[in-house]
Chains A and B, each alone.
Chain A
Amino acid sequence: MYWSLILLLGLLLQTGKSAVSEEGQLLNLQFHGDFSSDHLDELITFMFKSSENIPVLHYQIQNPSENELVEYLIETRLMSDFYGELLYAVQEPEDAIVLQPDETVRFSNLDIINGKLPDGERDLKFDFILSSSARNILSSLNAGALVSDDNYTVEVELFKITDGVSKERIATESISFETNLPESVLTITDDGEALSRISRTDLRFETPLFQWSGLEQLMYRLIVVKKSETETTEQLLNHQFQQPHSSENITNTSRNVYLDVITTGNSFRYPEELAEVLEQGEVYAWQVRANVKTTHGEKEIESDIWDFTTERVDTDKLTELLTILLGTDKVEQLLREGLELDKIELDGRVYTASEAIPILQEMVQKIQTNRAVIGE
């Protein structure tokens, strides 16, 4: 299942009241040792279905009487703090569990599904009602939803049949666990190195590569806008995110929208065929948003708004300066091979092509006034 790894992040906190009853240890309830929020669907269906044949819940009922045969009835409720009751299971009097004096019986939900106590002789039957909320949770889990923050409680009441007809509650026990969806799963964060790379994009060589960190299997909507003097970047982005996405019109430069795409994965390169849409020396902002399915419904998550600037390079000036420094033949050879100056490194510092122009200009001036020469 897609979310299995993520679900592992869910913090399972099991808390259970000790099997306190009015008459001592009549009833005991325990989650199976391996149970975790990975198996939330198994818990919801624990009374009637087990896809992995692993027990979820263990019951223990004891007849403390030394000489009295007792008929017991069990009622079980599964509740969520968020949704309320998810499952209610009850035994009719004719399905009562009869325990001999001083007898203790242990069974799991797998025995309930099988309809027999572990001795294989006595029936173990329940009627149950699954709420619509429980069905919704199961449906969303099947669709790959993340398990939201919640607290699930299994509450069991033990009744004794008295006078052959009426039932008397003699013990109650509950056991619960919390599910936790880490906030980090619901955030789209920056990839620092990638942000740095894109921060000054030189369109002569490549289109911007947008990269972020977040769940890979989500469908992300990426929108790029050019900064405007009349509207804030937030306004531009919010406006576009509110529009239905159209794969036919992934740009709308009249609204300052330079890209609007839906993509999976954590990166997207600006289409080469649209490269001429972007302008040199402009500042663009971009953001990604996604809808995450959780057991509590869909949740929209969004990244910060990040900027990048496209380099403005005076290629004619650059060629003129390089011709002086490297010679005509060398520069012509480089241009023939499609090579253009990307950056320079001087005294350990790296400069982009546009930053390099004044440095090269100064160097040429020094050479022309005999204050510097180029060695071999």
Chain B
Amino acid sequence: MKNLKTGLLIVGLLVAAIIVYLLFVSPAEQTTMQFEESDDEIAYVRRYVPAVTISNVSTDTLVTVGKSLVTGDTLTTSSAGFAMVLFLDETITRVSPSSQLVIRSALNQDKDMNLRTQINLALGALFMDVNRRGDTEFEITTTNTVASVKGTRFGITSDDYIWVEEGEVEVTIRSTGQIVNLANRMFLEVDQDGTVESGELTDEQISELSSEYEILDRDLIEREMRLQFRSRQGQDAEERLRIFEQEEEN
């Protein structure tokens, strides 16, 4: 009997330990979504400033920028590249230069709506304008955070800085399992040692943070500027600039 009690206690402790682990120690795994490989279009690149490349991890095939994205695609922007990705549910992701992200999404039966979407931001930064309905899920994972989105405009960097312009974001700190809810105008930063700092942003700070992505607010036209240099000794040199400029408003 004593053995039975002891056995039950051990089983109970094990179950409790598993529950604790699942709840607190390994929350990332807990929130990881599962996606099946598919060629279905989940989003497309609406605007971009070269250079932007997209490769599918599973097929490792480079596809032309501007085409549709499928689950598992990796989108990379160069040091001068910007991209604006539009999902089927009209969620907009603006990608800043020097970024890399893997996008996965599961669609509804009609394949016209993103039910569950996950962006794994490995490098760089994003600005999200999520159009989330009640029955859909949208999360962004970074090194040490998982941001579950509830319909909002917010920014996030791969080194775990999250700021909210409007709406609400639930952030899970992967190393500690701590959950933090960020509301309007709040920010959160997770250091490498897991220390969390959060607070409120001023209008100027929000404006500064979001301004980087304004280039993607309108369609862009590409212009080439050739700068020709001369010296008094008759030497010549030329520099070429590719400038992506917002189209003028009509």
Interface mask (A338-376 → B, CB under 8 Å = 1, otherwise 0): 111111111100000000000000010010011111111
A375/B228 in contact, CB under 8 A = no
Give which listed residue, B51, B213, B243, contacts A374 with CB less than 8 A. Answer: B243
Contacts of B211 in A (CB 8 A): 370
Q: What residues on A are CB-neighbors of B6 within 8 Å?
A: none
Q: Report yes or no: B80 in contact with A373, Cβ–Cβ below 8 A.
A: yes
Who on chain A is nearest to B237 by CB? A339
Contacts of B226 in A (CB 8 A): 344-346
B26 cross-chain contacts in A, Cβ below 8 A = none
Task: Say yes or no: A205 contacts B212, CB within 8 Å.
Answer: no
List residues of chain A with CB within 8 A of the CB of B1.
Answer: none
Contact residue range for chain B? 20 to 34
Which of B82, B235, B239 lies at the interface centre, i.e. has the most chain A CB atoms within 10 A of its CB? B239
Interface residues of chain A: helix, strand, loop or mixed (majority): mixed
Q: Which B residues are in CB contact (< 8 Å) with A102?
A: none
Which chain A residues border B108 with CB–CB below 8 Å?
none
The digit string for B63-106, where 1 denotes a CB below 8 A from any CB of A, is: 00000000000000011111000000000000000000000000
Min CB gap B234→A, angstroms: 8
Closest residue to B78 on the A side, CB-wise?
A376
Contacts of B222 in A (CB 8 A): 375
Question: 1/0 per residue B209-237: CB within 8 Å of A?
Answer: 00111110000001111111111110101
| Cα separation A1 to B50 with both chains bound (whole Å) | 68
CA distance A339 to B235 in the complex (A): 7
Q: A372-B243, A375-B49, A375-B243 are in contact. Are A342 and B228 (CB under 8 A)?
A: yes
Task: Tell me whether B232 and A334 are in contact (CB under 8 A).
Answer: no
B245 & A376 in contact (Cβ 8 Å cutoff): no
On whether the beta carbons of A347 and B243 are closer than 8 Å, the reply is: no
Are B229 and A342 touching (Cβ within 8 A)? yes
Bound together, the chains give a CA A204 to CA B246 distance in angstroms of 35
Listed residue (A337, A341, A347, A371) with the most chain B CB atoms within 10 angstroms of its CB = A371
Most interface-central of B51, B82, B228, B244 (chain A CB within 10 A)? B228
Q: Nearest Cβ distance between residue A228 and chain B, in whole angstroms?
A: 29
Shortest Cβ distance from A347 into chain B, in angstroms?
6
- B244: A residues at CB distance < 8 A: 372-375
Q: Are A339's CB and B231's CB within 8 A?
A: yes
Known: A325-B241, A372-B243, A374-B242. A340 touches B80 (CB 8 A): no
Which chain A residues (276-326) contact chain B, with CB distance < 8 Å?
Answer: 322, 325-326
B235 and A374 contacting across the interface, CB-CB below 8 Å: no
Whether A376 lies near B79 (C-beta < 8 A) is: yes
Q: Does A330 sit within 8 A of B, measured CB to CB? A: yes
- Chain B nearest CB: distance from A93 CB in Å? 80
Q: Is the CB of B246 within 8 A of A338?
A: no
Q: In the bound complex, how far is the Cα of B222 from the Cα of A370, in angstroms?
A: 15
On whether the beta carbons of A344 and B232 are closer than 8 Å, the reply is: no
B245 and A366 contact, CB distance less than 8 A: yes
A206 part of interface (Cβ distance < 8 Å): yes
Which residues of chain B have C-beta atoms less than 8 A from A371's C-beta? 214-215, 245-246
Asked if A345 and B228 make an inter-chain contact with CB atoms under 8 angstroms apart, the answer reads yes
Question: Which B residues touch A370, using CB under 8 A?
Answer: 211-215
CB atoms of B243 and A345 under 8 A apart: no
B184 to chain A: closest CB distance in Å? 23
Interface string of B124-149 (1 = CB under 8 A from A): 00000000000000000000000000
Contact B243 A206 (CB under 8 A): no
| Given A370-B211, A371-B245, A372-B246, CB of A344 within 8 Å of CB of B227 | yes
The minimal Cβ–Cβ distance linking A44 to chain B, given in whole angstroms, is: 53
**Are B225 and A346 closer than 8 Å at their CB atoms?**
yes
Whether the Cβ atoms of B232 and A204 lie closer than 8 Å is yes
**Residues in A neighbouring B228, C-beta threshold 8 A:** 341-345
| CB proximity of B77 to chain A, nearest CB, Å | 10
Contact indicator A342/B242 (Cβ below 8 Å) = no
Q: Decide if A375 touches B242 in the complex (CB within 8 Å).
A: yes
The answer to whether A346 and B245 touch across the interface, beta carbons within 8 angstroms, is no
Contact A338 B51 (CB under 8 A): no
Determine which of B49, B227, B229 lies in contact with A373 in the assembled complex, contact meaning CB atoms within 8 Å: B49
- A372 pairs with B215, CB closer than 8 A: yes
The answer on a CB contact under 8 Å between A372 and B245 is: yes
Do A376 and B231 have beta carbons less than 8 Å apart?
no
A340 and B231 form a contact (CB under 8 A): yes
A-B contact pairs, 27 of them (CB 8 A): A325-B227, A325-B241, A326-B239, A337-B231, A337-B237, A339-B231, A339-B235, A341-B228, A342-B229, A342-B230, A343-B228, A344-B225, A345-B226, A345-B228, A363-B225, A363-B245, A369-B214, A370-B211, A370-B213, A371-B214, A373-B80, A373-B82, A374-B241, A375-B49, A375-B81, A375-B243, A376-B51
Chain B residues close to A by CB (< 8 Å): 49-51, 78-82, 211-215, 222-233, 235, 237, 239, 241-246
Q: Which 10 residue pairs of A and B lie closest in terms of their CB atoms, listed nearest first?
A: A370-B214, A375-B242, A339-B229, A338-B231, A372-B245, A342-B230, A345-B226, A371-B246, A376-B80, A346-B225
Contacts A346-B226, A372-B215 known; list 11 others, CB within 8 Å.
A204-B232, A334-B237, A337-B235, A339-B231, A342-B230, A344-B227, A363-B225, A374-B80, A375-B49, A375-B80, A376-B79
